A = this chain, B = another copy of it.
Amino acid sequence: MERLQRPRKTPEPAVAPAAGGPRSREGLVVLGIDPSLRGTGYGVVRQGKNGPSVLAQGTIACGASWPVTRCLGHIAQTLRQVLAEFHPTICVVEGLFYAQNLRTAIVMGQARGASLAVVAEAGLEVYEMAPRKVKQAIVGYGAAQKEAVAKMVQRMLRLTELPAPDAADALALAIAYLQETGRYLIAGPKKI
């Protein structure tokens, strides 16, 4: 709503923000998380004058032999370290996600719960975005392949290497959030 009340009438002619958004996004640090028990992806992105850049990215790997609780503890601990080092103020996760059955849904839910509890305790605002919307924002096509999203993430963040799949999804969430909220839209990402 604030965006609607205070539209910026004077665009920057020299260095326009990548997504055409208002300059108030500048300096914002966003954490994207793609939670899963064995390989939670995360990406920390900072909005600069010339668009977003990456501060950190990675996959929280948990061995196949690890008990569930060890994985959950490791996810929470790693994310807490990421928060302490990069101080994001916004967190974005996928909204609707696919689960094959109840067991998978519970396992995925557990990884998500471990992640969100950490960011909630740290006081971040948490938003969710539908996978379709993220792909639409990044590639311009809601049914894009994962590979296409990863390649576009690499290009947008000027990475020398293609990010790992889980990290790429997390980075895509962070970038998509910055794009969506940088526009004069009424319906932005949903706060959860």
**Residues on A facing B (Cβ under 8 Å):** 67-70, 72-73, 75-77, 97, 99, 102, 105-121, 126, 191-192
Contact = CB atoms under 8 A, between A and B. Distances in A.
Contacts of A116: 68-69, 72-73, 110, 114
A105 B104 CA distance: 9
Nearest to A91: B69
Contacts of A118: 76, 117
A72 B33 CA distance: 16
Contacts of A119: 69
10 contacts: A69-B116, A73-B117, A105-B106, A108-B109, A109-B110, A109-B113, A110-B112, A111-B113, A114-B114, A117-B118
- 6 shortest A-B CB distances, which residue pairs? A109-B109, A113-B113, A73-B120, A110-B113, A114-B117, A105-B105
